[in-house]
């Protein structure tokens, strides 16, 4: 059971220290993986890096949960549960779109800005569950943040990069919704393994066309495996452990720090300096996302979306 904020107030904040540390470590892992991927763009195009990253994650997950996934697929075929199969496949499609688009964005705009724009996806899902006027306030704050990002970039923000980040936001929103649907229809983590394999297959064609044969060099394959570990496996485990200890809404508030972590990783690893206006825009989106997460996403959607957040780019 999670620790409520009311209980934390009675027993001190010590019970929240471990899950908060797990979430922070997961955020650093995700964004470090993104930073390594962005560095790799000097040797491989984003489509090829996406392929390496998703196949690495898929193979690792198959090694861990392949038997359960195989049983789930056999069960779906036996029951002719086409709706369940469609849910898992659609989950994989959104996962592919989200990762493919965000890596295209990373090539064109700073890491922190790309992740901030991408965060509009889960923000939209959270606000959709709010029936009060405060939901519009979070939307307005996020819109102000995006405007600050545009103005703070002094007109030099690559529009194609922003468009890809927005496409990734759409992918992330669909990913949250279909991850919930898949979790309700397919037992255990089998649906997640199936979706990851679907995503890997979908990006293989564009990735190989863009990066073969260079992408199959052993050193680049090793870097792709490292990206898969940092961007998927490690944060997924850390965030899953955190969700066992705190309510999903608290977790969602903490996850809202991701854009700021991405900006700091972009500065540390890639030398991507942001202006004061861009930092202000990131802060607006972070606050809007935190407020929306605390204020009212349906608990099931938020729990599944938060639990699987480490599997995004």
Would you list the domain boundaries of the chain?
5-311
CA–CA separation, 121 and 166 (whole Å):
8
Cβ count within 10 A of residue 145 = 27
CA–CA separation, 242 and 23 (whole Å):
7
CA–CA separation, 90 and 198 (whole Å):
9
R_g (Cα) of the chain, nearest Å: 19
State the pTM of this model.
Answer: 0.84
- pLDDT of res. 45: 97
Look up residue 154 and give its DSSP letter: T
- pLDDT of res. 65: 65
- Percent of the chain at pLDDT > 70 equals 79
- pLDDT of res. 289: 86
Question: Are the beta carbons of 165 and 101 closer than 8 angstroms?
Answer: yes
CA distances to 22, 28, 57 from 61, in Å: 20, 21, 6
pLDDT digits (tens, 9 = 90+) for 219-259: 999 999 999 999 988 888 888 788 778 877 788 788 888 99
Question: Are the beta carbons of 197 and 58 closer than 8 angstroms?
Answer: yes
Query: Within the chain, which residues score under 70 in pLDDT?
Result: 1-14, 65-84, 129-131, 153-156, 183-189, 295-313
CA–CA separation, 142 and 159 (whole Å):
18
CA–CA separation, 89 and 109 (whole Å):
30
CA–CA separation, 214 and 19 (whole Å):
41
The candidate with the shortest Cα–Cα distance to 139, out of 123, 151, 125, 150, is 123
């Amino acid at each position: 059971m999670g620790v409520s904020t009311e209980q934390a107030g009675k027993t001190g904040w010590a019970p929240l220290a471990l899950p908060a540390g797990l979430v922070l470590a997961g955020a650093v892992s995700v964004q470090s993986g993104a930073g390594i991927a962005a560095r790799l763009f000097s040797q491989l195009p984003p489509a090829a890096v996406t392929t390496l990253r998703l196949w690495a994650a898929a193979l690792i997950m198959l090694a861990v949960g392949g038997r359960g996934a195989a049983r789930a697929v056999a069960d779906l075929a036996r029951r002719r549960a086409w709706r369940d199969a469609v849910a898992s496949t659609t989950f994989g499609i959104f996962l592919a779109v989200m990762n493919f688009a965000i890596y295209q964005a990373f090539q064109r705009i700073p890491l922190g800005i790309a992740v901030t724009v991408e965060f509009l996806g889960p923000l939209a899902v959270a606000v959709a569950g709010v029936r009060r006027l405060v939901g519009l306030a979070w939307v307005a704050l996020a819109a102000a943040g995006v405007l600050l990002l545009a103005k703070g970039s002094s007109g030099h923000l690559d529009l194609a990069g922003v468009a890809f980040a927005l496409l990734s936001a759409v992918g992330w929103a669909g990913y949250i919704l279909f991850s919930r649907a898949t979790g309700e229809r397919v037992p255990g983590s089998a649906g997640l393994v199936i979706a990851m394999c679907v995503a890997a297959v979908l990006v293989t064609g564009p990735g190989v066309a863009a990066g073969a044969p260079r992408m199959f060099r052993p050193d680049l394959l090793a870097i792709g495996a490292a990206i898969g570990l940092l961007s998927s496996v490690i944060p997924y485990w850390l965030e899953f452990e955190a969700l066992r200890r705190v309510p999903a809404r608290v977790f969602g508030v903490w996850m809202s720090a991701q854009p700021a972590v991405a900006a700091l990783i972009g500065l540390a690893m890639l030398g991507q300096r942001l202006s004061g206006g861009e930092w202000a825009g990131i802060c607006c989106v972070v606050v809007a996302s935190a407020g929306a997460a605390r204020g009212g996403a349906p608990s099931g959607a938020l729990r599944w979306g938060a639990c699987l957040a480490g599997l995004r780019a």
